[in-house]
Structure 1
Amino acid sequence: MPLLDVRELVVRYGTVTAVDQVSFSLRAGETLALDGPSGCGKSSTAMAVLQLRRPDAGEVRFEGRELTVLTERDLRPIRPRMQPVFQDPYGSLSPRHRIRDAVAEPLKVQGRWTADGPAKVAELLDRVGLDPSHGARYPHELSGGQCQRVGIARALASEPRLLVLDEPVSALDPSVRAGVLNLLAELQDELGLGYLFICHDRAVVRNFAHRVIEMRDGRVISG
């Protein structure tokens, strides 16, 4: 059974069809890249997979369960297992919250915060290559690459099976980009994560993804 199975997905914004009959599947431990120019429907596909934007038609099956027919209440226990990592490492973190609070937030929201919570946060920061002392800092005190590592740590706090990586390294310098991609590869090997990887940089896609789907004008044209 695929970890993620998408069939004939359609997303419309008014009269504009952003995603048109898109289908693909993804196995645990695999990276599937959605490649294509800006505006081709990659991010709309990602939002629909996460059910952050409900599709207008089609199916999204995660771990064998059809998500598009579920209510928001029924989706709540499933959402932690499907986590996004966004393009803007600073924009995805509140400037008013310390790093340790950002990483702890999923644990608290999901009712999994315990007396061992601070140690769990330190472990997560260490796992993504940050010194746990960084937890006392604010986002503006970290580099873009460090903030993206924080975003990955926060996603891992939910113990997901799938990460939806929407241009996760496009805002980073090339040397920093390589470090973040290496981290993601290591985490995939360790945890068996599936990655839906949204990217427009073909060199990055070729080196990082196991399979590639190319999109144009909302449709799959190859892959």
Structure 2
Amino acid sequence: MTEPLLDVRDLVVRYGPVTAVDGVSFALAAGETLALNGPSGCGKSSTALAVLQLPRPAGGEVHFEGRELTALTERELRPLRPRMQPVFQDPYGSLSPRHRIRDAIAEPLKIQGRWHPADGPARVAELLDRVGLDPAYGDRHPHELSGGQCQRAGIARALASEPRLLVLDEPVSSLDPSVRAGVLNLLADLQDDLGLGYLFICHDRAVVRHFADRIVEMREGRVGVTSG
């Protein structure tokens, strides 16, 4: 069998004396969408952040591309972080209000040493076009975009790192239904084109059924039923 892109085993997350995630396990293949579904406070987002090692889990293992992340130092994790990128619920909160969209998308390229003045602007324009935005939107600030446009810009920023895994934490829950469908269709197209794995956190069962290949139900920090 092909090794999973992401393999989470007996994950535990604690905040002080409170156990938010208690022994959660699941695996995700490249090109697959696995949804974590459940009510608010059930541990979905805590699980997602622990997968990203933000913060480090209190117990269990997170295997990404065959490497066990919890055993790595921060320095050892650094080259792996670009390959697993988050997309958050609040599109405005995930982008600096002081930066133009083009600068927000260019930032990961610069941090990772992959920015070149000769072709960097063209790469930013390509990423904007890839998510269905006119490259001219790069001159705008987040508050000058609609919620759907801003979320598309956030997806473009995540794609700048050329990830294998996107951790999508309620990425459409703050959007109007008509806009929500467009963003979900964009994510589906990107997955088909790039072979991305999606860990999709969502409380809306109808959205999950439409979008995910498999669903892991969470209740009170634990896994309930897993369905296809």
Question: What TM-score do you get using the length of structure 2 for normalisation?
Answer: 0.97
CA distance in 2, matches of 1:16, 1:52: 17
Shift of 1:147: 0.3
| Match among 159, 163, 178 for residue 162 of structure 2 | 159
Letter in 2 for 1:182: N
Is 1:52 paired with 2:62?
no
Aligned to 1:84: 86
Q: Does 1:17 align with 2:19?
A: yes
| Equivalent of residue 6 in structure 1, options 5, 8, 20 | 8
Q: Distance in 1 between matches of 2:54 and 2:108?
A: 17
Structure-2 residue corresponding to 1:139? 142
**For the residues of structure 1 that align with 2:54 and 2:11, how far apart are their CA atoms?**
14
> What SS does the aligned partner of 1:180 have?
helix
CA distance in 2, matches of 1:117, 1:219: 44
Residue 179 of structure 1 corresponds to 182
Shift of 1:14: 1.3
Aligned residues: 223
Out of 186, 191, 196, the residue aligned to residue 188 of structure 1 is 191
Q: What secondary structure sits across from 2:70 in the alignment?
A: coil
CA offset at residue 84 of structure 1?
0.1
SS, match of residue 71 in structure 2 = coil
**Partner residue, 1:32:** 34
CA–CA distance in 1 between the matches of 2:19 and 2:101? Answer: 38
1:41 corresponds to which of 40, 43, 53: 43
Q: State how 1:68-83 maps to structure 2 within 5 Å.
A: 68-83=70-85
Deviations 1:71-105 (A, max 9, x none): 11000000000000000000101111000000000
Amino acid at match of 1:138: H
| Identity value in percent | 84
User: Matched residues in 1 for 2:12 and 2:43: separation?
Assistant: 10
Which runs of 5 or more residues in structure 2 are unaligned?
A: none
Q: Which residue of 2 aligns with 1:214?
A: 217
1:15 CA displacement: 1.3
**2:127 corresponds to which of 85, 109, 124:** 124
- Gaps spanning 5+ residues in structure 1: where? none
1:38 to partner: Cα distance: 0.5
For 1:27 and 1:49, the matched residues in 2 are separated by: 15
Once superposed, what is the RMSD of the aligned Cα atoms? 0.4
What is the SS of the residue equivalent to 1:51?
coil
Matches of 1:64 and 1:43 in 2, distance apart? 23
> What TM-score, normalized to structure 1?
1.00
For the residue of structure 2 that corresponds to 1:25, the secondary structure is strand
Q: Distance in 1 between matches of 2:169 and 2:137?
A: 25
Runs of 4+ residues deviating >3 angstroms = none
Cα offset, 1:127, TM superposition: 0.1
Distance 1:7 1:103 in 2: 33
In structure 2, C-alpha distance between the alignment counterparts of 1:159 and 1:144, rounded to whole Å = 24
**Residue number in structure 2 paired with 1:149:** 152
